[in-house]
Amino acid sequence: ANYYGDHNKSVAATDGSWGFSETGTPEYTPGTAAHYSDVDGELVGSSRLGWSGKIALNNTWSGIAKTEWQVSAENSANKFDSRHIYVGFDGTQYGKIIFGQTDTAFYDVLEPTDIFNEWGDVGNFYDGRQEGQVIYSNTYGGFKGKLSYQTNDDKAVKVTDVGQGIKEKAVYGKDVKRNYGYAAAAGYDFDFGLGLNAGYAYSDLENTATNNTGDKKEWALGAHYAINGFYFAGVYTQADLSYDTTTGGDKDKGRGYELAASYNVDAWTFLAGYNFTEGKVASNRAGAEYQDIVDETLLGVQYAFTSKLKAYTEYKIQGIDK
């Protein structure tokens, strides 16, 4: 169970609509702009349910599978959401290939800064775990690489808006379809604690209601370093969201970075982080300027009773008044 103190929650924009009054007269109800709303502190109950397995097929290959769901309590949205559901094969020196829903290859660049339990991982434009993927990964010495390809998704659950942050892109809206997508990541871990990573992601998008088309691209560079209980990580990313309409087309641009640090002593771990993004709507038009989207400072402390049981508290400082 998690307790969330008083905080702000992002609320997506809504479209205006026409309807009829009680007298039958047509009337227009305006939409609302994207905004943040105040939320009182509350205790939210949730858990994760899943299993994983591995069975040897021969001296080299093994069959692997994993399932994991996020389960919320009845009074905490009562949701049952899938996180990781995949099967595949582990060929040891020949690499690993899996099929199903999980993080794309691009997440490998972001993972080193994703050290918090509740907050963080918002200084980027990553679309999160995706279904219908084929993923191949392998390591050789300090080198590591991963490729992922996503098949057609008629109802893409999440397409992060590059330009407007919490506002749903009108040209795509809720009817967005991902025709296909792919991502790649590569990195090298040195034996003295330093690691370097780079990644790229692409999605071919379409609005199923208007047939507007476009694409989304994002690249990122990251580094992390560990020494004597200290850990430091950083990532920088840029993205653009292009779309074509009957009247032309626009391109939104975004850029951001994440910083993370921790110190571990005995069972205690102290965490600190910073996430920032900014976006430029219709960057190809005159007068377009970058505007801040995310500006968050994060602090946390956690205590590990065992390797599988821990308690933590985290605090987020919102740097943008929305």
pLDDT in tens, 56-112: 999 999 999 999 988 776 555 557 788 899 999 999 999 999 999 999 999 999 999
Predicted local distance difference test score (pLDDT) of residue 17: 56
To the question of pTM greater than 0.85 for the whole model, the response is: no
How many residues would you count in the chain? 322
Contact 30, 22 (CB under 8 A): no
Predicted local distance difference test score (pLDDT) of residue 217: 93
| Six-digit token string for 235 | 């990532």
What structural domains does the chain harbor? 1-44 (no CATH), 103-318 (2.40.160.10)
- Residue pLDDT, tens place only, 118-169: 888 999 999 888 999 999 999 999 999 999 999 988 877 556 666 554 334 4
What is the residue whose two structure tokens read 């307790």? 3
Would you call 173 helix, strand, or coil by DSSP? helix
Looking at the predicted structure, is the pLDDT value of residue 186 above 60?
yes
Task: Single out the residue of 258, 165, 193 nearest to residue 220, CA to CA.
Answer: 258
Average pLDDT, integer, range 31-53: 64
Looking at the predicted structure, is the pLDDT value of residue 19 above 90?
no
Contact 261, 275 (CB under 8 A): no
Predicted local distance difference test score (pLDDT) of residue 128: 87
